[in-house]
Structure 1
Amino acid sequence: MPSLVVLDAAGTPEFVESLRAAWDRGDAVFPLDPRLPRPARAEVLAAARPEEPVADGDALVIATSGTSGTSKAVVLTHDALGAAARAVSRSMEIDPKTDRWLACLPLAHVGGLAVVARALVTGT
């Protein structure tokens, strides 16, 4: 049964390696923003509920910003991430031989993770 793996989403190669390893095992990943103060980290983890099993195919559990109240957890599947990565790469005519992605957004944010997913899916 897949697990939810909480990873410190520091912008490091180790984070990307851990993300890939979790996905290769079929686990989902909850990227935790290392910049959050301790009370906010506890609130976000409570919303994610890492102790509960995740469904087959779940890839990411992302914390919302909580603008409407308490932060919530949103699930993205491997299929959804892969389809989005391939669609963007096709529309931008990414060539794995010459192009590379630059992840300059926080990796605890869906925007930053989308760049990493594109790189992993396309080999760039």
Structure 2
Amino acid sequence: MINVLVLSQHSPFDDLYIRDALDMTLIFAAVEQNISWLFTGPAVLALKKQQQPEHIGLKNYFKSIKTLEIYDVENIYVCEKSLLEYGLDKNNLLVPVKALNYQQQHHLISQQQQIVTL
């Protein structure tokens, strides 16, 4: 089993970056890799509760993020600074996360054998 990190940095409303990252995370989980997902910058907005993307013409795939628990994906991380920048806290999010400062993010990244940036 290898350590794989999916790193999301784009807004959930720009193309399908978050959707692709979700698919990638589920694929790695299905083949029993040690998968982690890190949200930084505007990507943290994908985790916000009670979104209604259909109002801007997007399919609501955000609720699919909750399925990560079924696949035993428990290593979901967010950039602490990004949460503050977007006025969020861990209680506003769809799934339980671990907030990391810059040094903790760097340590997490250094522990990975594969990093997929989307």
Q: TM-score, normalised by structure 2?
A: 0.32
Structure scoring higher RCO (CA < 8 A, sep ≥ 6) equals: 2
Using the size of structure 1 for normalisation, the TM-score is: 0.31
